[in-house]
Structure 1
Amino acid sequence: MDPSVTSGLYRDITDLAHDSPSWVRHFVEIGTEAVIVILGLLFLASWWRRRSADSRAMAVAVVGPLATAVAYVGSELFKSAVQEERPCRAVAGAAASLATCPPVGDWSFPSNHSTIAAAAAVALAIAWRAIAFLTIPLALFAAFSRVFVGVHYPHDVAVGLLFGGLVATLVVLALTRPARALIETMRTSRTGVVVWFAGRGPAPEPAAQWAGAGPGPGYGPGYGSAHGAAPGSEPDHQARQGPVAGSDRRYR
């Protein structure tokens, strides 16, 4: 993509950054790096809470970081192929970047931060839908912050978001099934560390118990009580066995 297409927007955003209060600039400078750490911690939380879930849910949780890593590697290959110069050196008349301009050879397109943030946000949203309201805004903030501090063009971060989200979705879909089989195998292991990592899964449901069930077919709950005796008592036993030989002298 021609960098000049978004150069004007880049100037507008970097001008906004220099006109912002100092606390806003400091917040964004810290946040642009901190957001990746926050997403990493959310991956840990997602894995931990799924250790007691079924194997498929656990598989989705552990595939997420791998999907993010694949997206990052893809963005690096993309960078090496395009070799777009950073705007903090290439755009004339732009305000000085708040962050240190990366060295020559650290290419601009697409944004690694945006790619990683989007991949992590999507993978987390798939594994833990309730936190999508947090992960998606974090990814958008990460992307905007890279332009705000002056190290990326707007098109760098836009493509990074799309690329990271797409790669993460495809990798999670492709690897969930084999990862599920692996998790099920790990959960049967006798190695403590392996079981600790995979989790033991949901607790088995207790077997249904028939209170007062008889000892054999045809004897349901409360059988003896219908004969005036508690199940298993002596009268109840005699009732089921029939008359004892010699107990009634009329038949002699």
Structure 2
Amino acid sequence: MFNLSEKKDGRVYEMRQITETTTSWNLHLRRNMHVWEEEQYNALQGTLAQINNEEGDDSWSWTKDNRGIFTVKSMYELISTPQNLSPSPHHPFPYTLVWKKPVPLNIKMFLWTLALGRTQTVDNLNRKGQTLDAVCVMCGMLEESILHLFLHCPKSLEIWAFFLGFNSDLYASIFETVSVTEWLLAWPKKRGNDLSLIVWQLLPVAIIWIIWKFRNGRTFSGKEITTGKMVMEIKGIIWYWGGIWPGRRRYRFQDLLSNWDDIINGAS
């Protein structure tokens, strides 16, 4: 609703319309609403109807402090309690999935947007008022969404199948998965040597990141998408991220290229 309003800097009293018997709200929208926006608007109206409006100047109030004043301490207490970051009461925010991964900060931020469902895929952009072609640039067949792009797009499935095997139970389970977060949280543990464990832990994040990279290259620069190039970059980014592990010095990048199956199976 905020994005649709022509008075983003307006005051509360400018949005409120009072008669002798009713109070209504006019958000000064710049266009007619879509159906899903009308649902949000009606929900907002219902919430506003429960508020006891008093006369007076607008002011800010921080609800996480009894005095209504924002403090760094109160924010720290908020973000350090996992349940307070929960997208819903039934699905706590997977903070270990996002912040405990041994990957660079920009990748953690990317995982954060994925976990919140706010990665800038076409469907999310169109919900914000854009009018973009909804077809996935990777496959050119179905509408792009987070779930489709990273897990169910035919081009993405080729990548998952390459690393997991078409006939593996893990690959088969991808078709039953309803979110990327669910897929990452369900990623199984693996036995093996240190290199095998590091590579296996980083593999799903690397695949998702490279899918996003190639998707953007196709969208903004018209770059070609090939399975071979994506596989090479996935192995490359795993090798790069693995640099924080001291034991990597015992291996070469060529080992990932030539002995992938042995490494994954803990035989190298």
Structure having the higher helix fraction is: 1
Higher relative contact order (CA 8 A, sep 6+): 1
Normalising to structure 2: TM-score of the pair? 0.27
